[in-house]
Structure 1
């Protein structure tokens, strides 16, 4: 890193953003049941719809925002996104029916560029050998945010399902104000590129990557990983409510526990893991641990054993920054925003597909008429996808 101040500013941005997301997770099952009047299975399906529309808009707009940040800078894209995000939380806090929540998630999906822009910012200020470590720092910020956010959401949820949304709106607004005052631009004449609609088209951008043979398999690995990992935000709150009858406070505690473990792994273990094993082996280790963690959660019999398995699930996250570092090193410096925009689109596409499939699987296997009562079925499905991801990576070109 050339200096620490930009890193600290981006870290604060990601932490506050993740806090806003984590704040609302513990109350989503109750909020959806409140506005729809349905049961938990129906609430999970609606939760999948909300996640899907959000992710679909991210898929459509991710390359656009990534390319806009390559042309006009990271700073304006980040500040506008945060401002609209704050307004979106206000809309959700006031929602009285499910369709207002749907509209709110559409708006949020259009402007949810904070993570991808933060990743591009970190790529701008990092040398080639430090990129994986830089992405690990961003991941640590997400983990810290998920420590604080769910814990606060579980507490605030005791005062009503809307309280966490007001808190999230304040956090996002405060984050925008902080960024306006102190965030400096990293796009200069040396790494600025012209804006082209061809690169901003999500389908066109993905098609263009077919002409990059060194990237194709890595992007398949990344996509399968994201589909599998999407089971956590899509299902967790509904799964623990159904399986262990946890309420908002316990849901928040479990998410905070994962966030704490995740932050420790990202902040303290990414660099030594890559140093000891190299990027390629770090990816293999991470994917293998993901498979084990997902199978464990799928069959875990008690809430206490679930909590005990959370550190293993967090440790599995060592693979993703290594994979992102490999991908980032294979593109030019003036295309980092485009790469992160495309990565964001792949993540969003995964989050379009996964919530619908995972929530349907949960609703089916947790229903009274299910041939087999298995609320953890979505995690087992995710484990199968993670095995496929590992297989593709093992078959990819070595020397990474």
Structure 2
């Protein structure tokens, strides 16, 4: 697990170095909040189209090969982004990144290959902690380098991604979860993948989990995609306007909170709450954070909002991924992780654009209200429709 943890951390640091500067990078090129939303939505659309195929390819040809291909695509994307002199080139760079963004899906499938159903939530949690570690390093680096220029963090992200590719090539073991090696075996494996995916959709519990998952990611997508725009328009940070350095502080704190939650809080809560109740708790924490962010007029209130939202998101990812993955065969984890990434991308296509339309009209209260309403809808569906099943029972049945 150590190599894949390092790979996830480096990739997350690379992504994290871009996040604090991207809204301001686009704004310097003359982009509006709606254009920012369209860029993020286009990236998600390309990810939606590619993720299921990349997941199946990782099942057939191995996690390592898919990771290397996606990391090579990231290097090209970052080079194009650093050299961009118009919104069009930024758009092309992010679309390319979406087409090759199989990193976490392939890494999560690798973790699922090397864990049991009973320990899968903890295995995914370790990878999520890697995301948190990268979320500390990347934004911190971006906040420091943004004083030099907005392109300096992009080249730092390129270096981090190149290092991740090197670690993948040298250290990660090659494996194929399905055991297919070619020819007729691959063709047979493809048939079984289709049947397995259809069987996933026929399960009532899986269908409800998917709806709840989409509620979470749609609300969080609306919130996170336009948070920088909202704060730069409404928040005064220690006497000056909110900017990329301050966004870097928030994302760094988010990464630190993610690590603490994964290492100390996730297992404790997982042992005390049923799957259904844990999901409801996650939505409650997130809703409090969204409201606090919308009302924040001081750094302390904003810090409380970040604490709530970051805690909720850190709990949500392993909870949803583990709940879905334990219902499918071990050899089809890549398909499942790719499908999850694709479903999340569906929300990421629409949510930034919708949020950009709302904030473009300066309807800040409507933006926060929509985010909270969608999150609470997910909580109600989970509480009323999911069966009361303990995680240990699900693992035993799998």
TM-score (norm 1): 0.89
Q: CA deviation at 1:336?
A: 0.8
Q: Does residue 122 in structure 1 map to residue 107 in structure 2? A: no
C-alpha displacement of 1:66: 0.3
| Contact 2:6/2:130, CA 8 A, preserved across alignment | yes
Give the match for residue 194 of structure 1.
186
Q: CA RMSD in A?
A: 2.2
**Which residue in the other structure is 1:248 paired with?**
244
1:359 is matched with 356
Runs of 4+ in 1 over 6 A off after TM superposition: 196-201, 204-208
Aligned positions of 1:6-155 closer than 5 A: 7-36=1-30, 42=32, 44-155=33-144
Instruction: Check conservation: 2:140, 2:249, Cα contact below 8 A.
Output: yes
Aligned mates of 2:154, 2:4 — CA distance in 1: 23
Over 3 Å counting, the alpha-carbon distance change for 1:396 and 1:249 in structure 2 is same
Match in the other structure for 1:289 = 285
Secondary structure in 2 matching 1:194: helix
Query: Once the two structures are superposed, what CA deviation does each residue of 1:231-259 show, in whole Å capped at 9, x if it has no partner?
Result: 34311221221112212221211211122
Change in 2 beyond 3 A, CA 1:205/1:248 = farther
For residues 234-293 of structure 1, what are the alpha-carbon distances to aligned partners after superposition, in whole Å with 9 as ceiling and x for unaligned? 112212211122122212112111221122112221111111224332222112211221
SS of 1:159's partner is coil
Q: Which residue of 1 is the match for residue 202 of structure 2?
A: 211
| Partner residue, 1:385 | 374
- Identify if the C-alpha distance between structure 1 residues 313 and 375 changes in structure 2 by more than 3 Å, giving closer, same or farther: same
Q: 1:186 offset after TM fit, Å?
A: 3.6
CA shift in 2, pair 1:191/1:219, >3 Å: farther
CA-to-aligned-CA distance 1:306-362 (integer Å, 9 cap, x gap): 023322222223243223212111111111111111100101001001100111111
- Aligned residues between the structures: 379
Contact persistence 1:63–1:200 (CA under 8 A): no
Which residue number in structure 2 is paired with residue 307 of structure 1?
303
Instruction: For residue 150 of structure 2, give the secondary structure of its aligned residue in structure 1.
Output: coil
For residues 320 and 291 of structure 1, the distance between their equivalents in structure 2, rounded to whole angstroms, comes to 16
Report how far residue 172 of structure 1 moved.
Answer: 0.7
Partner SS for 2:19: helix
Give SS of 1:358's match.
helix
Helix, strand or coil: the match of 1:131?
Answer: helix
Report the CA distance shift for 1:208/1:277 in structure 2 as closer, same or farther (over 3 A): closer
Could you tell me which residue of structure 1 aligns to residue 396 of structure 2? none
1:171 and 1:264 map into 2 onto residues whose CA distance is 23
Rounded to whole Å, the distance in 1 between the matches of 2:376 and 2:344 is 18
Q: Specify the alignment match of 2:266 in structure 1.
A: 270
Q: Relative to 1, partners in 2 of residues 1:215 and 1:190: Cα closer, same or farther, differing over 3 Å?
A: same
SS at match of 2:186: coil
SS of the residue corresponding to residue 161 of structure 1 reads coil
Q: Does 1:224 align with 2:221?
A: no
Distance 1:279 1:209, change over 3 A: closer
1:338 to 328, 335, 339: 335
Distance 1:108 1:390, change over 3 A: same
Unaligned runs of 5+ residues in structure 2 are: 236-240, 391-398
Q: Give unpaired runs (5+ residues) of structure 1.
A: 1-6, 366-373
